[in-house]
Amino acid sequence: MRVNSSSKEPEIRPVDTVHPRHVAPLERRMCQESRLSRGGLLTCCESCLFLTAIVIAIMHLATASSLLLAAAACAGAVRTMIPKTSFDSQANFDVDWNYNYPWGTDHNGGARMDKGQVKFSSGMLTLTAKKVTGQKDAQHGGKSIKINYLSGAISAKEHFNVSRGGGYDFTGEFRATTTQGTWPAFWLTAVNSWPPEIDMAEWKGSGKISFNTFNTSSVLSWKDVTYSDPDRFHLIKCEVRDINQRDVSVKFYMDSQPIATHVGGNFFGKPMYLIINLQMEGSSGSPGPNSDTLYQVRNLEVLTYNP
């Protein structure tokens, strides 16, 4: 708040020089009574000092209460929905995650998800895709898809919907292959009707990483970036925030560097699944590799700013 520097500060007299006629009626009456009875507990000046002390004490209490409320508000502004320890043990995993996609084992590629292809220890998630034969075809979009791999997927038990003035941070370190026929992903998609969809990180066998936001199948924003050194872990972060109680902003980062900012139209208040999966072939090309493919994640954390 701006203060007018030309305003004259009110003169404040020391308490022991305040004349009774300048004192409020109640205080003046107390002063008069104290003069009539010198045997009273408080003299006139003592009464004024006492009242002043009470006022100061009340002001201090009000200030302290305001500070405590502000601190409580700040402390409650950010909450951890999924902690970095969720891959430390089976017990921790079971609190926050389910196996497979939210809808089952199949999706739009040549891998079928299987619980046996999901491992975690010492804070690291490992999904492994292995070549198989003899699997029943998957069905997606009215088409049959040949299943050539068993692989792994997990989905968060919580749903994620941006509330008024709120949002989320999704962060993790990922080691993902960019070999043809491999299709790791870290993404959000609609619980009810599609869209929304936010691909916070997607690798489609091209040597690049993709960051995508789907408003519809034909209205989307994307950014492809060269994914150098896929054998090491890269830090991925996605910030999703309310803009106007209708749309949300989506900011993508890799290795702490901003990559792109998208707008999710009409994403506000719509619940989304969080999925980490290693799909194969499909949009990443075919044939895929004959040897096992690994996709690893560590230090995965989700923070919420929703009120």
Which of 27, 158, 173, 202 is labelled catalytic?
202
Closest-CA residue to 186 (of 156, 215, 166, 206): 156
Residues 6 or more apart in contact with residue 252 via CB below 8 angstroms:
200, 211, 223, 236, 237, 238, 258, 259, 260, 261, 262
Query: Model-level pTM?
Result: 0.77
Q: Strand 220-226 and strand 208-214: pairing?
A: antiparallel
Whether 158 is a known active-site residue: answer no
Whether 173 is a known active-site residue: answer no
| Contact (Cβ atoms closer than 8 angstroms) between residue 174 and residue 201 | yes
Which of 9, 27, 197, 239 is labelled catalytic?
197
**Alpha-carbon dihedral 298, 270, 262, 200, rounded to 10 degrees:** 20
Residues 6 or more apart in contact with residue 67 via CB below 8 angstroms:
none
pLDDT in 10s for each residue of the chain, 307 residues? 433 333 344 443 433 333 433 434 444 444 344 443 444 444 444 554 555 555 455 555 554 444 444 434 444 489 999 999 999 999 999 999 999 999 999 999 999 999 999 999 889 999 999 999 999 999 999 999 999 999 999 999 999 999 999 999 999 999 999 999 999 999 999 999 999 999 999 999 999 999 999 999 999 999 999 999 999 999 999 999 999 999 999 999 999 999 999 999 999 999 999 999 999 999 999 999 999 999 999 999 999 999 9
